[in-house]
Structure 1
Amino acid sequence: MKASMNLPAIIQTLSENQLLISEFSLVEPLDIRGIVADSRQVQPGMLFVAIPGLTYDGHHFIDQAIRNGAVIVVGEQPNIEISVPYIQVADSRRALAMLSAAWHGFPARKMTVIGVTGTDGKTTTCNFIYHILKAAGIAVGMISTVNAIIGEESLDTGFHVTTPEAPQIQGLLSKMAFRKPTPITHVVLETTSHGLAQHRVAGCEYDIGVFTNITHEHLDFHGT
């Protein structure tokens, strides 16, 4: 499936998910060619989402994103005057996830999504479920912190620590849901607590949830 999206569709997606605060009035539809949250990855025609982080604030890199070719910017800060349309949202991370899902045609909705979370054992459990479903003859894919499996293809995701960012997740789900000649019907998605808290999997409607366990790890991030 060829991903595509224009400004009215962007506004609609943000509005439907109660994220839109203010929008830029523009008559032209203004198509975009991709969605990123890293200004270094911006290419001409892309939408840049500015995310305030623990170390860096993406709003400080808006000018760099525009120089690299961003044609629309989405962020949380108000009253930003720039040379391209700026859309203020309530939550940049959730906006990134929902826009990425919409950009790819909401691929998770076309599959049975099995989410696996918990402190320990997520990757092992994902592999167990994946191989059980595969042995049963089901067209199944998997996204873990180690690799992604689409049909007979195994991709080194390079994450190894946590759930990838929303654009990467939605891109992988899209390859599965729209795979030819045989689409993937079930996907096992390893879901870390950080990924949940940072809305990286927003737009992934889970059909089944698996909870392995909970221990004291990551209290520095989540608190008590």
Structure 2
Amino acid sequence: MFGPNVELLAAGRQVIGVDLQSHGRSPAADRPMTFETMADDVAELIRSLGLPRAAIMGFSLGGGVALRTGIQHPDVVERLVLVSTVFKREGWFPEMRAGMDAMGPETAAFMKRTPLFTAYEHVAPNVEDWPVLVQQVSEAMKIDYDWSAAVAGLTMPTMLVVGDADGMPPSHAVEFFGLLGGGQMDAGWDRSGMTRHRLAILPGVTHYDINVVPALSGAAIPFLDGA
């Protein structure tokens, strides 16, 4: 999902790629797909690997799962990097929400002509499960949510990364940052007014390339290193 950024991120730390429910190498699951249940899956994976805590980075749907993991299981989350992620469904542009609402069984056939299917068929245990994945994602993306109250209670350092031509307006990312306590005052010469959270708006970047542009890891790595 993060293309060349995986290698850049792995240069200074262990990186574990997670195939969420019905994604990639994970077999199709016979249960509804929700952000909450997938967050439980991620937390259980971290615990099963014997890791005390982990930094979690997620993009779009995966960003929502990463955010819910921080909300539901803060004990296993060291920090969050949320890429093209909204804290409420209304944060997406109307045309993005319309596209989510329009997803249905016929979408699976159309999407077989996209790079997403090409990547899926290379690793899926059963490529015939592709319609299951598309249907489950479509149902998950239609669920309304607003996690603003929970976001305001997050305790781990959190970085938001969006493109200036992303699927949500930059103002949503600024509002998100504000819920975390960021952008409330001048940091001062000694940076004493700076929060532990970070916001990066990448210029000339869309929802469809932010996961692969080198600027993403360029922004995330200093934060992951504790800057």
- Normalising by structure 2, we get a TM-score of 0.29
* Greater relative contact order, per chain length (Cα 8 Å cut-off, separation 6+): 2
Higher strand fraction (1 or 2): 1
Higher helix fraction (1 or 2): 2
